[in-house]
Amino acid sequence: MPNKSNRIKQSNDTDSSTTEGAELEETHDISYHLTRHNSNAVITKEFHMLREKIQNLPGVEEIVNFKTGITYRTTKSFARFEFGRTFMNVLVREPKYNDPTHLVRDITSHMWGYKGKIKVTSSENTDAVFDIIKQSYEETL
């Protein structure tokens, strides 16, 4: 009787020989995140505008190869984008920022590691959303 690790290895060997096109390792790029939930044109445009502004900040690293979203970090993560069909959630480090339009919702009780969430459904608040992201970015410096 083979030991447990041999059985797992045999199972993986079988999976890799299937011809149904199943990949053992998926790659997740920006188009994966935007098309996975069929994000509409407004959300896609809004994300690209925010992405361009974030990438212009010094020392920012974009981490795309996660299945559930796109993360931006310096020495610590400061923003995360998660996509839906008609909305985009932007998670930020804290629930309290200089936020005159009251976009940030406190999600501390969710214990996700991020304590604030902005739900973006239109392109009306691009500058306000970026201002909050920038404040979160500045906390990591």
Is 19 part of a structural domain of the chain? no
Which pLDDT score is estimated for 21? 46
Q: For the segment 43-56, what is each residue's pLDDT rounded down to a tens digit?
A: 989 999 999 999 99
For residue 33, the model assigns a pLDDT of 67
Q: Is 21 inside any structural domain?
A: no
**Domain contains 126:** yes
User: Which CATH number covers residue 91?
Assistant: 3.90.1150
Q: What is the pLDDT of residue 110?
A: 77
Give the tokens for residue 94. Answer: 């804290």
- The verdict on residue 117 lying in a domain is yes
Structural domain boundaries enclosing 44: 27-138
**What domain count does the chain have?**
1
Per-residue pLDDT of the chain (141 residues; tens, 9 = 90+): 444 333 333 334 444 444 444 444 566 667 666 777 677 889 989 999 999 999 999 999 999 877 778 999 999 999 999 998 899 999 999 999 999 999 999 998 877 789 999 999 988 889 999 999 999 999 999
